[in-house]
Amino acid sequence: MTRLAVSTHEVWLELLMAGFMASGKSKQILFDFSDIVFRHFTWMEQYLIDEGIEYDYNRQSIPIKVDKLSVILADIAFRLRQIDLQLIVCGDQALCERITSDIGYITFVLNNIEDETVSAFDLSRKFGDCDLTQEATDALTLFLFEESYKEYELIMIYNYLKAHTQDHYLIRVFQILIDESFFHLKSFGQMMADMGILGVPRVIYKELYKITDVTQFLKDGINEEILAKEECKKLSEAVGNESVELSRFFDCINMQEDYHIELMKRALEHYESINNDK
């Protein structure tokens, strides 16, 4: 079952990457499927927790560089069929039946998605009609690589924390932060694909999410969000003269970080209060 969870983690990311590569209706279909497979992953994770089985978020590298969308879709369909064949080891019949049903539908749709040429790896480093300076292009490139990994990292960290707490207030806060990080990851990932520099976030070290001191994690997280705000501000200023669209986007992200800081402050206050009462 741990191997199944790893495989599902990989397929979720591969579907997300395929969504960045696709266009039109196919893009939203692939994003929706990636969301479904992520839920599969969290359900498998809960099964492992309930059964007292040790697990982590380690995974294999995911090769995604293709010229045609059909190539990565065929690989995803193959991986999903492999997961389906191995579901016999799952002791939760209802979960097994749900995932099997989803896989059947997803693979059917994947086999019927119209093929298209992929430009997400052409290294053009051009963002639409924006005429960015070399300095602004370099700053944007570095930011997207760093922040796409950071958002993936945060999704996994908050997901792990959410899965290992029974406190409803913390669960709510962690879910909000997961949803926000998904928006950021999808935004940054799409920008990377549009610029021809799409890449899969690197694997997360287990020390980052297997947190023993939640209080310190939340304090550090608040400081990291403050630093992230500064990076957004710098980037907004760097692209401001060349692209009002990009500048406004990063201003929006910057303001969202304000609320993340507030949420984490409230989570910290709540966590300290419930532990002081023990």
Supply φ then ψ for residue 68, to 5 degrees. Answer: -125, 140
pLDDT band at 60; cut points 50, 70, 90: very high
Least confident piece of the model among 127-131, 175-179, 248-252, 259-263:
127-131
Domain range annotation of the chain = 1-118, 120-278
In the predicted model, what is the mean pLDDT of the chain?
92
Q: What is the pLDDT of residue 248?
A: 83
Query: Same topology for domains 1-118 and 120-278, yes or no?
Result: yes
In this prediction, residue 96 carries a pLDDT of 94
In 22-60, which residue ranges form alpha helices assigned H by DSSP? Answer: 24-50
Mean pLDDT calculated for residue range 40-48: 96
| Alpha-carbon span 131 to 133, nearest angstrom | 7
Q: What is residue 128's predicted lDDT score, i.e. its pLDDT?
A: 81
What pLDDT is recorded for position 244?
Answer: 74
| 245-248 long-range Cβ contacts below 8 angstroms, 24+ apart | 245/128, 245/130, 246/127, 246/130, 246/140
3-class state of residue 68 by DSSP: strand
In this prediction, residue 278 has a pLDDT band, given cuts at 50, 70 and 90, of low
Which of 175, 148, 180 shows the shortest CA–CA distance to 42? 175
120-278 topology per CATH: Ferritin (1.20.1260)
Pairwise pLDDT comparison (10 vs 272), residue with the higher score: 10
Could you read off the pLDDT of 95-125 as tens digits, one per residue? Answer: 999 999 999 999 999 999 999 999 999 999 9
Q: Which pLDDT does position 240 carry in this prediction? A: 64
Please give the structure tokens belonging to residue 116.
Answer: 């298209």
**If pLDDT is split at 50, 70 and 90, which confidence band does 229 have?**
confident
Helix (H, G, I), strand (E, B) or coil at 117: strand
- Are 188 and 18 spatial neighbours (Cβ–Cβ below 8 Å)? no
Looking at residue 17, its pLDDT comes to: 98
Q: What is the dihedral of CA 33, 39, 45, 49, to 10 degrees?
A: -170
Confidence of residue 228 (pLDDT cuts 50, 70, 90): confident
Task: Tell me the fold of 1-118.
Answer: Ferritin (1.20.1260)
User: In 164-243, where does DSSP find H-type helix?
Assistant: 168-194, 206-209, 214-240
pLDDT tens-digit readout, 191-223: 999 999 999 999 999 999 999 899 999 999 999
